[in-house]
């Protein structure tokens, strides 16, 4: 990358990559920013898809766009998923554009772990398309100055005309703080930290939550040790299999929410949980004997308002995730209704600032959604910024 030092500029077309200096603090030394047209933040399915299409639509890798990712290797959130999540029990992995999962990863062993197979796939993909991924680089803050975005990181800083944010949800788990949460002397962990059930043998594990992760981990842990399951609401088990039509209907509902400026909700909250053979088996065995949510955590267990007390060694919070967007806070994108109002063909474009796209967000928070979103975001952003004309 060419490095030029100059005073802060007026907004300009910058197909030539360069370096500029901005003093972001009166007293500090000027910070050097590499100039590109577009910064993609995150290299999971959503970021890779966006990068593929930016390149395909003529934006030069490295000079015109870069992808920043805070992990040290390929795989996005998949590299951290628990060991028992294999290709047989994932919901389904959609191919990235241009290279099929089957061509990149040997799947003869169906027991291959998702946290091995997906990183292999993404690594092969990044290599095949020579995508300009810079890692590990954590974006700490994005702010606007003189019509450009200043992308602050723990390493190199960037100045860009457009942003495609694809930071997923894995880094921001929901961890509700019930009264007494900080007094508990046992182990508390979130789905995000869970690796396998072996660590809990001989312990009484309290599973919290009513989503897919809670049910799956309850099934797994209850095979090796004593479990109790609590949730605020009972899950809705539905006698259907997850069809493409149902998927489309639930995506449409989330799409409408974000277009209205509401925070996105999860697909499960829209569809309920399908009664899979694994769930049927758990219903029969009595493992799915749900108790209502407790009211207080004590040093040795949990207590309900009616005085009922339960001794537990482990509290496993399967309480979901929220989109990882803190670094965009300085841009003030939150709508009065609490979410970020979205527009564009697939609701990837931030209505308040069309130079910003969020992919893998709301209706596109799945491997198939992330793929399509990457294409729509790349195309719409290139058009809006009038790049390559
Ligand atoms: P991620 O894969 O999370 O990628 C985001 C990347 O951005 C990561 O590498 C992250 O480290 C990086 N990043 C985050 N913040 C920053 C920052 N500030 N600076 C730099 N980099 C940053 N979907 C399916 O389609 N099929 C499934 O079977 C399925 N199973 C799932 C199971 C679980 C337990 C969960 C939680 C989700 C599952 N999903 C599934 C949804 C899944 O999250 C998406 O499908 C998809 O893989 C997410 O891709 P992504 O690119 O949006 O996010």
What are the tokens at 201? 């043998």
Phi/psi of residue 308, nearest 5 degrees? -60, 135
Q: What is the CATH number of domain 181-239+275-317?
A: 3.50.50.60
Q: Which of 53, 72, 77 to mutate to test the pocket of ligand 1 (most atoms within 8 A of CB)?
A: 77
Q: Specify the pLDDT at position 357.
A: 98
In angstroms and rounded to an integer, the radius of gyration of the C-alpha atoms of the chain is 23
Question: Rounded to the nearest whole angstrom, what is the distance from the C-alpha of residue 328 to the centroid of ligand 1?
Answer: 17
What are the tokens at 64? 């015109």
> Alpha-carbon distance 162 to 297, whole Å?
46
Question: Rounded to the nearest whole angstrom, what is the distance from the C-alpha of residue 170 to the centroid of ligand 1?
Answer: 6
Beta bridge partners, 302, equal 297, 310
Chain mean position to CA 237: 25
DSSP H helical segments within the chain, as ranges?
45-56, 101-104, 114-128, 212-221, 244-259, 267-271, 277-285, 367-385
Locate tokens 């209907």: which residue? 249
Q: Specify the pLDDT at position 108.
A: 84
Phi/psi of residue 97, nearest 5 degrees? -65, 130
Phi/psi of residue 244, nearest 5 degrees? -60, -35
Q: Specify the pLDDT at position 27.
A: 61
Query: Is the fold of 13-171+321-385 the same as that of 181-239+275-317?
Result: yes
What is the DSSP code string of 109-165? STT-BHHHHHHHHHHHHHHHTT--EE-S--EEEEEEETTEEEEEESS-EEEESEEEE
Domain ranges within the chain, ordered by starting residue? 13-171+321-385, 181-239+275-317
What is the DSSP code string of 341-386? -EESTTS-EETT-TTEEE-SSGGG-SHHHHHHHHHHHHHHHHHHHT
pTM for this model (two decimals): 0.91
Other CB atoms within a 10 A radius of the CB of residue 223 amount to 11
Q: Specify the pLDDT at position 235.
A: 83
DSSP state of 181: G
Q: Helix or strand or coil: residue 180?
A: coil
Q: What is the CATH number of domain 13-171+321-385?
A: 3.50.50.60
Q: Which of 40, 41, 43, 44 to mutate to test the pocket of ligand 1 (most atoms within 8 A of CB)?
A: 44
**Is the minimum distance from the CB of 360 to ligand 1 under 6 angstroms?**
yes
Which atom belonging to ligand 1 lies closest to the Cα atom of 324? 15
What are the tokens at 41? 């933040």
Tens of pLDDT along the chain (389 residues)? 333 233 333 323 334 456 666 655 556 677 788 999 999 999 999 999 999 999 999 999 999 999 999 999 999 999 999 998 888 888 778 899 999 999 999 888 878 999 999 999 999 999 999 999 999 999 999 999 999 999 999 999 999 999 999 999 999 999 999 999 999 999 999 999 999 999 999 999 999 999 889 999 999 999 999 999 999 988 878 776 667 777 788 888 999 999 999 999 876 666 677 788 888 888 888 888 999 999 999 999 999 999 999 999 999 999 999 999 999 999 999 999 999 999 999 999 999 999 999 999 999 988 888 999 999 999 999 999 999 76
Question: Rounded to the nearest whole angstrom, what is the distance from the C-alpha of residue 69 to the centroid of ligand 1?
Answer: 12
**Is the minimum distance from the CB of 69 to ligand 1 under 6 angstroms?**
yes
What are the tokens at 262? 């509401």
Stretch (H or E) spanning 31: strand 31-35
């Amino acid at each position: 990358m060419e490095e030029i030092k100059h005073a802060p500029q007026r907004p300009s077309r910058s197909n030539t990559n360069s370096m500029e200096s901005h003093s972001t603090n009166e007293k500090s030394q000027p910070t050097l920013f590499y100039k590109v047209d577009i910064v993609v933040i995150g290299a999971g399915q959503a970021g890779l898809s966006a990068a593929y299409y930016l390149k395909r639509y003529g934006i030069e890798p490295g000079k015109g766009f870069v992808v920043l990712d805070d992990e040290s290797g390929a795989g996005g959130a998949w590299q951290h998923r628990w060991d028992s999540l294999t290709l047989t029990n994932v919901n389904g992995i959609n191919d990235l554009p241009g290279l099929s999962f089957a061509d990149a990863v040997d799947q003869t062993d169906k027991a291959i772990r998702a946290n091995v197979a997906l990183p292999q796939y993404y690594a092969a993909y990044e290599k095949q398309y020579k995508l300009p991924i810079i890692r590990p680089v954590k974006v700490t803050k994005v702010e606007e100055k003189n019509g450009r975005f200043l992308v602050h990181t723990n390493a190199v800083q960037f100045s860009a005309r457009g942003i495609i944010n694809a930071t997923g949800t894995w880094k921001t788990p929901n961890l509700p703080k019930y009264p007494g949460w900080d007094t508990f002397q046992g182990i508390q962990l979130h789905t995000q930290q869970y690796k396998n059930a072996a660590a809990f043998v001989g312990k009484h594990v309290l599973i919290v939550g009513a989503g897919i992760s809670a049910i799956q981990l309850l099934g797994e842990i209850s095979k090796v040790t004593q479990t109790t399951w609590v949730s605020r609401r009972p899950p809705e088990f539905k006698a259907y299999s997850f069809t493409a039509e149902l998927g489309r209907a639930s995506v449409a509902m989330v799409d409408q929410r974000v277009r209205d400026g509401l925070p996105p909700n999860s697909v499960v909250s829209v569809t309920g949980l399908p009664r899979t053979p694994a769930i049927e088996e758990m219903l029969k065995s009595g493992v799915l004997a749900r108790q209502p949510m407790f009211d207080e955590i004590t040093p040795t267990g949990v207590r309900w308002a009616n005085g009922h007390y339960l001794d537990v060694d482990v509290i496993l919070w399967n309480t979901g995730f929220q989109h990882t967007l803190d670094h965009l806070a300085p841009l003030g994108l939150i709508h009065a209704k609490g979410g970020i109002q979205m527009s564009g063909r697939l609701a990837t474009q931030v209505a308040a600032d069309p130079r910003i796209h969020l992919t893998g967000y709301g209706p596109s928070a799945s491997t198939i959604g992330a793929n399509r979103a990457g294409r729509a975001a790349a195309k719409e952003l290139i058009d809006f910024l009038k790049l390559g004309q």
